[in-house]
Structures are given as structure tokens and as C-alpha cells.
A and B are shown apart, each in its own frame.
Chain A
Amino acid sequence: MGFLVLAVAGAFLIYALTVGGGGVAPGAYEVTARFGEVGSLEPGAAVTVAGVKVGTVSKVSLEPDTYLARVAMALEPGIRLPADSTAKITSDSLLGGVHVAIGAGGAPEDLKAGGEIENTQGAVDLLGLIGQVVRPQPEPPAAESQ
């Protein structure tokens, strides 16, 4: 009986790891992107192109002199992205969970390992937007300029 239980558990684990793709694929290469706001993006979040997962976020850190968030992403080795691709942080659903959506560009040369995606769009502060609509801030008085 004990062996049966072990066999079932082992079989399911192997099934899960083959189907689920455990962790970062071997040979993944890393690119970075800088965002003004990453929201709740955390390591492990998906990186997608056209909704298909092509990698994971490996690190989120703050760049001390620019105050931008630097996001490192590990991409599957078979995926080559044009150098002028764009990165955008989008919500999985209305209730939290974000991922990085990459829009493929049109440049002839590819993004290399360690390269940076220049065109980025950070996370949208949904509650902040709602707050602005519900209670608009008064216009600041026009600055007196000489």
C-alpha cells in the first residue's frame, strides 16, 4: 500500500512538472526594462507575448539614481524579440495579479541577452484612477511665471 501511494504521488508530480514547466527553462536569457511604476509585480510573474507565456520576471529592484523600477526578465531561449519591442505591465484580472506583456516591434535586429527594452508602460493605478473620477482634485492655481 505504501508503495502504491508513493507511486501515485510520484506519477502526479512528474505529470505536473512536465505540463507545468517547473521554473525557468534551462538556457533562458535575461533582458531588463525600466518602469515608472510596477504595482504588485513580483518575481515569478509571467512575461507574455500576445498572451502566450515566454518567460518569467526574475528580479524587481529600484534604480537608486533615477527612481525607476528595474525589472529583469528571463526569456525562453527560442524566443527572439526585435530590439524595439515594448513592455507593458498589465493586470491578469480586475482582482490583482499582474504580468509583463511584451509587444513585438519591427526592428531587423534582435534584443540580445542583457539588453534593455526601451519603450515601457508601467502599471496603471486602478484605484487611483477611480479616485480621480469619483473625487476630482481641484485644478492647481496657474503658476505665476515671469
Chain B
Amino acid sequence: MAAALALKPVQAVGRLTLSSLRQVGALTLFGLRSLLALVIGPWFPGQVLRQLAAIGFYSLPVIGLTAVFTGAALALNIYTGGGRFNAEQIMPQIVALGITRELGPVLAALMLAGRVSATIAAEIGAMRATEQIDALRTLSTDPYGYLVTPRLVAAVIALPLLTLVADIIGIAGGWGVAVGFLDFNPTVYIRNTVDFVEPWDVGSGLIKAMVFGFIVALMGCYHGYRATGGARGVGRATTQAVVTAAIAIFASDYVLTTLFTAR
């Protein structure tokens, strides 16, 4: 009896480990299955274009606003921090580096996770709840190829482009604050930024953005596809999609940054 009681925590750990491993395995299989659909077809270019508009173009306002305010706040903070050792003048360079290498891709991905992961999970979850996915299968259309793969492809294409816009607008936000409130010379600010930023600063951010785009679409599709229990299940799937996408974005951001900065 006492032994059984003592084993309770161990059992809980075991259950937790197994269920999380099962989740990771299911997610991996789901991703591989969607990539397989990308390789063997049939392809749905119309779906990809529609998703590019939904994921990419209609996310521009959100991402632009996020980027401009982030750039402005970053500029103020770095100006204050730099002032502690009389180095306010390096603010343009640090803002440019922070935006292109880190904040542009990560914030664009997070906004996309909030906007797109949730939408995808709700769409596919509702289709699951109303048995439309089974109907697709009855019509011998591969639901992975028709629903999941176009969203993955669209997100992987769209997020780097959105990140590029976020980079530019974020730097513009920092420039606006610096010129408007901190008495920086507008030309010198731009010149410092352009001279300082290396192609790899932007390029590494864009590679990150491709990975994040994959994560955003995969999490939305996966949780939507596996939604159970009608309308409540769809709501749960939406929440889980956003939360897991955000966590996966941060975790992979650290891993990618480690790879990119390794010497």
C-alpha cells in the first residue's frame, strides 16, 4: 500500500513524459505527412495564392503597426541606455541590428501566430467538427494536400516578406523618434544604419522568418485538424495553436540564433 502510494509521483511523471512524447511524435508525423503531400502532389496553386493573400497581405497592417511602435520604443530605450556611458550616437546601429536580427522576425511571427494560427485552427477545426474533412476524403481529395500544405507553403513564403517590411518600418520608427524628439540628423542616422547593416543581419532574420512561418502554419493546422468535441473543441484548438506556436517560435529563435552566432 505504502509502496503504491510512493510510486504515484513516478507514475505521474511517466504519464506526462509519454503524453508529451506522443504529442511531439504526432506533430512530427503530421508535418512529414504534409511535406509528403507537397512532394507527391496533387498541388493546389489556387489555394496557395488564396492563403498568401490571407496570411501575407492582410497581415501587413498589424505587422506594420507593431514594427513602427517597437522600433520607436527600442530607439528611446537604447538612447537612454547608451547615455549611461556617453554612447548615444551608436543608437542607429543598435536599433538596426536589434530589428533586423531579432525583433523584426520574432514580432512578425508572434503577430502572425496570433492572427493566422488562430484563424487556421478555427477554420480547419470547424471543418473537422462539421465533418467536412471526412467529406473531402470521400471525394478522394487528400485533406493534407488541399488544406494543410497550401497553408504551410503560403506561410513560409509570406513571413520572410512580412519580416522585410517589418525591418524597414521598424527602422523607420526608430528614425522617426530619433529625428523628431532626440535631435538626430536624419541623413546621418540613415547613413549610419545603411553603412552598418550587413546583408547577413537581414538574411539571418529572413531565414528565421521562414522557420517561424512553418511553425505558425503547422501549429494552426495540427491543432485544428485534431480538434474534437464540436464548437468547444474548436475554441480549445485555437488557444492551443496560438500558445504552442508562440512557445515554439521563442524556442527555435534561441536555437537558430545560437547557430547563426556560432564562430
Binding site for B on A (CB under 8 A): 1-2, 4-6, 8-9, 12-13, 15-17, 19-22, 44, 46, 95
Contacts and interface: CB of A to CB of B under 8 A. Distances in A.
B9 interface: no
B177 interface: no
Contacts of A44: 195, 198
Contacts of A15: 190
Contacts of B63: 5
B187 A19 contact: yes
Nearest to B63: A5
B169 interface: yes
Interface stretch (B53-61, B117-125, B208-216): B53-61
B58 A9 contact: no
A5 to B, nearest CB: 4
Given A12-B169, A95-B87, A2 B60 contact: yes
Interface in B21-70: 57-58, 60-61, 63-64
B190 A6 contact: no
A-B pairs, 4 with minimum CB distance: A20-B194, A5-B64, A2-B60, A1-B61
A110 B56 CA distance: 54
B112 to A, nearest CB: 14
Contact of B191 (A6, A9, A19): A19
Contacts, number: 53
Q: How large, as a class, is the contact surface on chain B?
A: 20 to 34
A1 B194 CA distance: 27
15 contacts: A2-B57, A2-B58, A2-B60, A5-B169, A6-B165, A8-B169, A8-B172, A9-B168, A12-B169, A16-B168, A16-B171, A20-B190, A20-B195, A21-B191, A21-B194
The A interface is mostly helix, strand or loop, or mixed, namely helix
B195 A13 contact: no
A20 B172 CA distance: 14
B100 interface: no
B240 interface: no
B149 interface: no
Contact of B168 (A2, A13, A46): A13
Contacts of A2: 57-58, 60-61
A5 B195 contact: no
B193 interface: yes
Interface centre among A2, A5, A8, A22 (most CB of B within 10 A): A5
A19 B171 CA distance: 15
Nearest to A12: B172
Contacts of B186: 19
A14 B73 CA distance: 23
B194 A17 contact: yes
Contacts of B190: 15-16, 19-20
A1 to B, nearest CB: 4
Nearest to B56: A2
A21 B165 CA distance: 20
Nearest to B165: A9
A5 B191 contact: no
Interface centre among A9, A12, A16, A46 (most CB of B within 10 A): A9
A43 to B, nearest CB: 9
Interface centre among B57, B168, B187 (most CB of A within 10 A): B168
B84 to A, nearest CB: 13
A9 to B, nearest CB: 4
